[in-house]
Structure 1
Amino acid sequence: MAVRPLCAPGDLDLRRPLPGRPAAAQRVTAVAATAGLSRVAVATAAPWFPGLAELLVLTPGEDAPPLRLPMARRPQGAVVRDMVFSSDDAALTVSLGGSEEQQLGQVAHFALRPRPVERWRRSLSRPVYAGFSECGGLRLAVSGDGRVVAGCDQSSRSVLAWSAADGSRLVDGAAEPPRVGGSEAIAVDGEGSRLAFRLCRPYERAPDGGIAVLTPDSGALSVLPTGLDWCAGLAFAPNGALLVVLGTAGGAAQAVFLDPARQPADAVVERRRLAALPAEAAQQTARPVWGAAGPRAALRADRTVTVWDLAAGEPLCSVSDLGRSTAWALTPDGRALVVASPAEVRGHDLG
């Protein structure tokens, strides 16, 4: 398996290190990459000093310093929780969050061509009830055509979607009626006409591992049972005919293929068992991708991340010895795994 360095030494160093502290970032909170690794986005953080968090866009193969995008609009700073590129590499959407003391929940959308500019920024809602995880955490998804950005706000447990062009709200899961509740795992089809997400409302989980499929234009909402104990992530096929759900059941990772056009009782068309997972990895969140190479996903177990071919139910590669300060992501075409630590960023070719 070929491994490619994606940044030069020192590229991830903080521009404003504190006296007596190293310039190296202490943690990588998120990473994203484009197909072909033409761009890689890396979010770094310095614990206890959120104002030092940075968002960098690298262009591997070009002799150019990292592009640093603005994040915080308030003195206390912000930390990137998730981010995703558009399919044409022209835009980057970022989820910004804070802590219990610094409740900063925002979504920022950057256009990268012809020159980097922030197109819009939207605030997220407050937590439904106190003490639930970190404030402002949002898992993101983008449609294949790049025109729709969606997310599940884990604080308010609501599903949201925006127009990538101007940030106008397309879906407001917190609106009444009806309330559309989801948590973390979300996907958008190629045209942005359907959203799929882990169905979840405050104090309530969907029975039988139910996955919701929402059509924003009509407001139609269907619930498809998967038999999973936990949904880690979802991805639509490029043609939208199938939906793969990655999750766990009976202590093992599974991939369930659904046909959203069928009746709920007949929606499951295939099921693949991947591998047993330790208890601490049973409820992780991942972002499966479905490109020309088929559906793939990267799952963590202990300090190892393994990339799986979900259609075949077989592992493709594993990267071990990863620490808590490391982030990883698959490219949208599933042909490379990007692993980012405070010192380096590497691309692992998957073929």
Structure 2
Amino acid sequence: MQAQVLDDMDLEREKGITIKSHAIQINYPYKGEQYVLNLIDTPGHVDFSYEVSRALAACEGALLLVDASQGIQAQTISNLYLAIDNNLEIIPVINKIDMDGAMIPEVTDQIVDLIGCKPEEILHASGKSGIGIFEILTAIIERIPAPKGDPNAPLQALIFDSVFNSFRGIIIYYRIMNGTITRGQKVKFIATGQEYDATEIGVLKLGMEAKNHVGCGDVGYIITGIKNAKEVKVGDTLTSSGSMAARINGFEEVKPMVFAGIFPVETDAFEELRDCMEKLQLNDASLTFELETSQALGFSEKKKIPPTPVTLGVVSFVETVVSFFCASIFFIFC
């Protein structure tokens, strides 16, 4: 298996960073029982914080990864507060402990001062060499609570991400809060009221793995054949057709920090530009845009985006600061 297996963007693999969140489900045996862990790998840098905030609403706990050679950073504190505001269980981890410049005692004191934990509660790990990985998985099972939810209740699933596939349409990623979803079931998007058949559903392993049934607490995907990007909104609630289920309180809308006016060279290419912007918005929900006109340049889309990404070198296991985890215990709630 190659390194950075969850990072599928060329820039991510080239620079060794995580820019876009990635979800994965793994089966893990522990003390004679089989556990299902739904994990979401998120970026650590503050410039990608919207990717982090979108994962928060779908999780019960978080790993706070701190670089042993750098200690607490500004983004460490920023992402930690986001996790605390969402009532997540925090597991502190000192990463890169095998580096020559590792300052384990100093970083331990920093973490204790920051979150008030005991030194023995802090795990030590190295994403490069694999040190401490089993201890981390054990801590996830023992310290992060299983997802709450009623599998017999009407379907409630939080949409936390989506991507556009030119052959299959929009692929939606969700976390089921209540109920279950089955293949062929008619589902409804609460924000738009539109209803579609669940043509394909499944869970996210190293790739998409189709299933006939996805249970309460799981993170999965759904394909309904939607081609229009306007009909899918990240943060919306997915429910059963005819259900009176309430909308889930998702996450806050992003606050634009950078603005750009984009005009096509030819005015008749405006609709094509708009279509491309809508598809881009599916992959990056932090982007918003609106129509503007110019007497000199014609029609354009006014683009609003978060701060320009800053590239930094990080580790291959998850990310330097925070990666959020949704720990699912299969035999209890699914």
Structure-2-length-normalised TM-score: 0.29
Could you say which structure has the larger radius of gyration?
2
By percentage of residues, which structure has more helix? 2
Structure-1-length-normalised TM-score: 0.28
Larger RCO of the pair (alpha carbons < 8 Å, separation 6+): 2
By percentage of residues, which structure has more strand? 1
